Amino acid sequence: MVSQNNNSSRSQIVSLSRSSRKYKIALAVLSVALLSTLVCIAYMIMVGKESKEQINSNGGSKSVAISSAAKTDKPQMKEICGTNEKLCIKYPDNWKAEAEDAVHSVGDQSNGVYHADKITLTHSNGLKLAFASGLSSLGGACTEEDNNLSVEIVRKDMTNLKGYQAYVPAEYSTYTNDSAFALGVIVPNTDGTKFTPEIGLSTANKLINNNQAKVCDVKMLGVINAKNTNITTKSSGSPDHGQLFIGTKEFSGYTASFQNKSYNTREEARKAFEGEDYKQAYEIIRSVYYK
Q: Tell whether the model's pLDDT for residue 46 goes beyond 70.
A: no
Output phi, psi for 230, to 5 deg.
Answer: -100, 115
- The answer to whether 211 and 287 have CB atoms below 8 angstroms apart is no
> Average pLDDT over the chain, rounded to whole?
82
Cα distance between residue 84 and residue 231, in whole Å: 11
- The answer to whether 90 and 73 have CB atoms below 8 angstroms apart is no
Beta bridge partners of 117: 101
- The answer to whether 260 and 127 have CB atoms below 8 angstroms apart is yes
Residues 54-88: tens digit of each pLDDT = 434 444 433 333 334 445 578 899 999 999 999 99
SS3 235: coil
Of 118, 142, 140, 141, nearest to 130 (Cα)?
A: 118
Average pLDDT over residues 233-241: 59
Cα distance between residue 163 and residue 39, in whole Å: 74
Average pLDDT over residues 255-269: 96
Between 142 and 227, the higher pLDDT residue: 227
Least confident of 121-125, 238-242, 250-254: 238-242
Output phi, psi for 245, to 5 deg.
Answer: -130, 135
Between 156 and 43, the higher pLDDT residue: 156
Cα distance between residue 186 and residue 233, in whole Å: 38
For the whole model, what pTM was predicted? 0.73
Q: What is the pLDDT of residue 185?
A: 98
